[in-house]
Structure 1
Amino acid sequence: MRILGPETPDDRELREWFESQERGNIERLETGAQTIIQLVTGLYGVLFAVLALSDQPAYLQNPVVRWAGTAGVCAFFASLIAAMLVALPRRISYQKDNLTEMHQQYRRLQGRKATLLRAAQIVFLFGTACLIAVILAILWSL
């Protein structure tokens, strides 16, 4: 780490790159949340088609299908809610002439969005695993 001396072009380029990454971080978090929302919406259709709630096929009597199907529906719904909380705008109040408070509010916003997106991703993966379990249980029982 260089402490003294003028900033070199490489140092400036690195600093500017990190600044641009920080500026775009909130947008990337929201884009990730929107992607999860789209995936959950699509996989809900797949899960409901497999479960075929209207005709009650025989494979719905399989406990693995019932429990994994229920867990998958709940997990996808929880993932959808968490992702929507990332994407929804939220009012932030701060003093416009206090850079320290502005920086703290930005970090708090970024931390909240990152935590919610991480939760959405983990629950989404669990829901996907449940969907795979349902499909495999149906295929093995045929």
Structure 2
Amino acid sequence: MRLVGPETAAEREVREWFEYQRRTNLERLEAGAQTLIQLITGVYGVLFAVLALSDQPVYLSRSVVVWMGSIGLVVFFAALIAAVMVVIPRPLRYQLDNLTEMQHTYERLVRRKATMLVVAQLGFVLGIACLIAVILAVLWQW
């Protein structure tokens, strides 16, 4: 940290970049959650297509397909709920004339949205792993 002298152009650029990141943090979190919601609903369709065929082939009774399919459905649904929690607006309570309280409220909001987005991402990855296991079990007849 520089203690004396005016701010250099490079220092100002770094400070402005971090300020921009802080200002756009909520929008990026919500955009990430919306992308996950779209991906999850699309992958849900693929998983249902593999699991819910009308003629009920033999592979649907295999334990790997039943367990991984069931776990995948539950995990995708949990990830979908977590991603929706990021984008659903909630009322914020704070004093309009108290900047410290406003800053703490903002930090709690960002922390909650970031945590829910991480939960949604982990659920999405686990759901994809289950989907891959189901597809491999069907293809390789496990």
Q: TM-score with structure 2 length normalisation?
A: 0.96
For residues 91-139 of structure 1, give each alpha carbon's deviation from its aligned partner in whole angstroms, at most 9, with x where no partner exists: 1011111111111111000000000000000011000000000000000
Moved more, 3-12 or 121-130: 3-12
1:23 aligns with: 23
1:38 aligns with: 38
In 2, the alpha carbon distance for the partners of 1:73 and 1:59 equals 17
For residues 44-100 of structure 1, give each alpha carbon's deviation from its aligned partner in whole angstroms, at most 9, with x where no partner exists: 110000012533211011100000000000010000000000010111011111111
* Amino acid aligned to 2:59: Y
1:4 aligns with: 4
2:128 aligns with: 128
In structure 1, the gaps of 5 or more residues are: none
* Amino acid aligned to 1:49: A
Which runs of structure 2 are paired with 1:42-121 in the superposition (5 Å)?
A: 42-121=42-121
* Amino acid aligned to 1:55: D
Secondary structure at the aligned position of 2:80 is classed as: helix
What is the aligned length? Answer: 142
In 2, the alpha carbon distance for the partners of 1:139 and 1:99 equals 59
Shift of 1:140: 0.6
Shift of 1:39: 0.4
In 1, the alpha carbon distance for the partners of 2:113 and 2:28 equals 10
In 1, the alpha carbon distance for the partners of 2:14 and 2:50 equals 50
Secondary structure at the aligned position of 2:113 is classed as: helix
Moved more, 62-71 or 92-101: 92-101
In 1, the alpha carbon distance for the partners of 2:9 and 2:20 equals 16
Q: Which runs of 4+ in 1 moved over 4 A?
A: none
In 2, the alpha carbon distance for the partners of 1:119 and 1:3 equals 41
* RMSD across aligned positions (CA): 1.2
In structure 2, the gaps of 5 or more residues are: none
In 2, the alpha carbon distance for the partners of 1:106 and 1:76 equals 29
